[in-house]
Amino acid sequence: MTAQAQLTAVAFYRDPEAALAWLSAAFDFETAILLTDGEGRLAHAEMELHGVRLGVAGEWAGGALGPARMRSPAALEGQGTQFCRIELPPQVDIDAHCARAGQAGAQITQAPQDEFYGDRTYRCLDLEGHVWTFSQPRRKVSAAEITAATGLVYAVGADGGRGVEPPRSAVTPYVSYRDPPAAYAWLEEAFGLEPRIYVTDDDGNLVHAEMTFRGETIGVSKAWSDRHAAPGDVGGRNTQTVHLQLIDDIDAHHARAVAAGAEIIRPLETQPYGDRTYLALDLEGHIWSFGQTVAPMSVTEWDEKLGTQTRLRPTEVR
């Protein structure tokens, strides 16, 4: 159902209906797809903000998931296994955006400020404790300039060694690991993610790392505060997941993941809504989903097959 999106971060909430309303009020997200079952319960929801796609789901667990469970940070003493960075476009007043979030009840953990890497950034917690970073580029800063100013060492993966950081996508999910250097190598081997930047300090310790998939950015992070955790730190739970939509050859992608040691927790199958999909655990228990549209369907067609009711806006009448 997310064939248009290359990458979709999905956040889990105790009360997803309340989350949909709150994310709209606080961050100006708009509901783009809302599926409900025959009893009116939320089955699937996606929101958009200036082209950024976000999935919203309720807590759930299935037999196929084994020890992995989808939980809100509110159920894990405020810890989350991922967080999202959203890049706001130039026409948005980031200070006003922060003020709006605060008025809606977001806990502002960092007020808007100009960062050494050229962005103006603020950070906050949402109504159930998910960590959000909102940034807006203000000036171009090369990797060499950052190294000169901070001592951090950049390895830039897409510029041929010229030290210029490649463009970042508008949404970046950051995935927390106990051993992020090992994760960085494994994600390239298993899922075909490509190196983007790898930042270390003078002692060679990882400070910041990002990878790409079809031009979309994915952060690889350590659990660097009491708000962040790897799944192994919270009993195999996941507070967010990442869905990657492939263009072709998902069977080969699945085989590559299996060969690298990924644990397949939902087998590769063609779904009633026309996508061929599978779910896998990475080397530290994060859940990743992969899909490829093999039989494009209209909203009406997939509703008929799934027994759902889909609206593109909450108030839409079909």
pLDDT of 125-136, one tens digit each?
999 999 999 999
- 185 occurs within a structural domain: yes
Instruction: Examine the pLDDT at 33 and tell me if it is beyond 60.
Output: yes
- 238 occurs within a structural domain: yes
- 317 occurs within a structural domain: no
Supply the DSSP symbol for 235: T
- 38 occurs within a structural domain: yes
The reported pLDDT for the residue numbered 236 is 93
> What distance in Å separates the CA atoms of residue 280 and residue 57, rounded to the nearest whole number?
18
Instruction: Examine the pLDDT at 4 and tell me if it is beyond 70.
Output: no
Q: What's the whole-model pTM score?
A: 0.89
| Contact status, residue 72 vs residue 13, Cβ threshold 8 Å | yes
The reported pLDDT for the residue numbered 78 is 95
Q: Which has the closest alpha carbon to 97: 127, 132, 128, 130?
A: 132
Total domains in the fold of the chain: 1
CATH number for the domain spanning 208: value is: 3.10.180.10
Q: What's the domain range around 206?
A: 7-311
> What distance in Å separates the CA atoms of residue 129 and residue 17, rounded to the nearest whole number?
16
The reported pLDDT for the residue numbered 118 is 92
The mean pLDDT of the chain is: 89
Q: Which has the closest alpha carbon to 117: 165, 159, 161, 83?
A: 165
pLDDT of 240-263, one tens digit each?
999 999 999 999 999 999 999 999
The reported pLDDT for the residue numbered 165 is 62
